[in-house]
Amino acid sequence: MNEHQLPTSCIKHLAVSELSSVSARIRSSDNLTGNCFEMPYVPYCQPLCGILKNMQYRFLIVFLTIIISRETFSQIDSNRIARNVIFIEAAGVGGYGSINYERVMYCENYLMFTIRCGISTYHIVDYTNKLNPDIIIPFTLNGFYGQDHKIELGVGETYSNIVHTDLTNFKPKRVSNFNTIFSIGYCYQKNKGGILFRCAYTPIIEFNKYLRHWAGISFGYSF
């Protein structure tokens, strides 16, 4: 080997050694083509639950504020408005059905806002055959747009107090939860009062975690 070939051979040897070292480091770095480039699993349930919990408290504050606030009506004589509504809803925000009272808080031209509270149940007697009804109380804020035929949008909470089995002593035990509820649908209701009809899509976020698709139909009377 002459003296001109010696530097070239050394350079090649160093380059091959360096490439081998880099390749070894890549193979030992926890498989870059596998786990390192996989998107990490980040559970989104926790931040969502936190948001819904904050919404729950804020909604309760707004609801109580409206209850104690002075009822306001503008541009329409309050004597001409049927402010009280009683209706029965099949399925809907109360689960399998509910009896409801609704109060018109604001009405101006085509726009109307109401608050609603109802009561429902699943079982009247528990598994020991004793009178021990489940308690379900939906309460919502609702907005309507239209005259006799209206579009309805609503949001609220359903408080549920359900009888379960206590696994420690096998006796009935009540468990309370809040469920976020929404509604969007059609409403036939005259501002002056009379028979009303509603049908709505009412999705429920059970325990503020699981989305459940639901719907309801209502019949009632406003006065």
Beta bridge partners of 147: none
* All structural domains of the chain: 45-72+86-222 (2.40.160.20)
**Buried (b) or exposed (e) across 201-211, using 16+ Cβ within 10 A?**
ebebbbebeee
Beta bridge partners of 149: 188
Rg (CA), the chain: 31
Average pLDDT of the chain to the nearest whole number? 79
**Percent of the chain scored above 70 by pLDDT?**
65
In angstroms, rounded to a whole number, what is the distance separating the alpha carbons of residues 206 and 208? 5
- For the segment 88-117, the average pLDDT, to the nearest whole number, is 96
Q: Between 10 and 181, whose confidence is greater?
A: 181
Q: How many helices (H) and strands (E) does the chain have?
A: 2, 10
- 205 phi, psi to nearest 5 deg: -95, 95
Q: Between 2 and 207, whose confidence is greater?
A: 207
Beta bridge partners of 156: 140, 181
In angstroms, rounded to a whole number, what is the distance separating the alpha carbons of residues 184 and 181? 11
Q: pTM for this one?
A: 0.66
The model's pLDDT over 39-76, given as tens digits with 9 standing for 90+, comes to 343 344 445 555 555 666 666 665 556 555 545 444 44
The per-residue pLDDT for 21 is 54
